[in-house]
Amino acid sequence: MAGSGSDAEQVIVRVLREDGTRCERCVAHRAEMRISEIAPILEGLRARREIAVRHGRCPECQSLTQTFSVSAVDTQRVGIGSSAWWSDPLWPVSGPAARRVFALTKLRMLDEKKFREVMWAMFRRGIEPADINRDQWLDILLDMGAMPTEVRDVMSKLGFAPFRIGD
């Protein structure tokens, strides 16, 4: 067994670096740990943005499930990791409404607590994704920690005219 705390974290990150994207079960198998042991460690690594989490097919076992990777996370400047969104098999090819729901889902998965706080502060009475305007999207993305290049990219993908932050 790999150990606990930072030793276990290092083993898990090493496994993901060496093997690439994997599901929880495959990471546990390769790290020689139980799923019940790695689940909270993966959550901690995700919360600190040391690993990326997405829904997809595990390259190892082919299960369609939550997958983990370190390659999608820029360790120098994390941001929201939106560059990995566009290769996600669930990314809607057409329709700005579906893309906006997808983007909100990704932001919620990134940091659910922060996402709820941001959305509550802006929309106490709730709002439909299609009704969120350009300036509100800008605020959401920045509040969630998006870097300027990510903001421009996401806004463009969501159907908003290109702009520079401050416009």
Domains of the chain, residue spans:
5-69, 82-157
Q: Give me the mean pLDDT over the 35-48 stretch.
A: 87
Contact 107, 144 (CB under 8 A): yes
Report the mean per-residue pLDDT for the chain. Answer: 83
Tell me the mean pLDDT in the region 6-20.
83
pTM for the whole structure: 0.53
pLDDT band at 75 (very low <50, low <70, confident <90, very high): very low
d(CA 53, CA 62): 16
The answer, yes or no, to whether residue 80 has pLDDT greater than 60, is yes
Work out the percent of the chain whose per-residue pLDDT is above 90: 23
Residue 164 reports pLDDT greater than 50: yes
The pLDDT of residue 74 is above 50? no
Whole-number Å distance between alpha carbons of 25 and 38: 9
Cα radius of gyration rounded to whole Å, the chain: 17
Q: Tell me if the domain spanning 5-69 has CATH number 1.10.1740.10.
A: no
**Average pLDDT rounded to a whole number, residues 80-109:** 86
pLDDT of residue 146: 86
Does pLDDT of 7 surpass 70? yes
Cα–Cα distances in Å, from 27 out to 4, 92, 124, 127?
A: 15, 28, 39, 38
pLDDT tens-place string over residues 110-138:
888 889 888 988 888 888 888 999 989 98
* pLDDT score recorded for residue 165: 56
Report whether pLDDT(50) > 90: no
| 162 band by pLDDT with thresholds 50, 70 and 90 | low
Residue 3, pLDDT > 50, answer: no
**Where on the phi/psi map is residue 77: left (φ > 0), alpha (ψ -120 to 50), or beta?**
beta
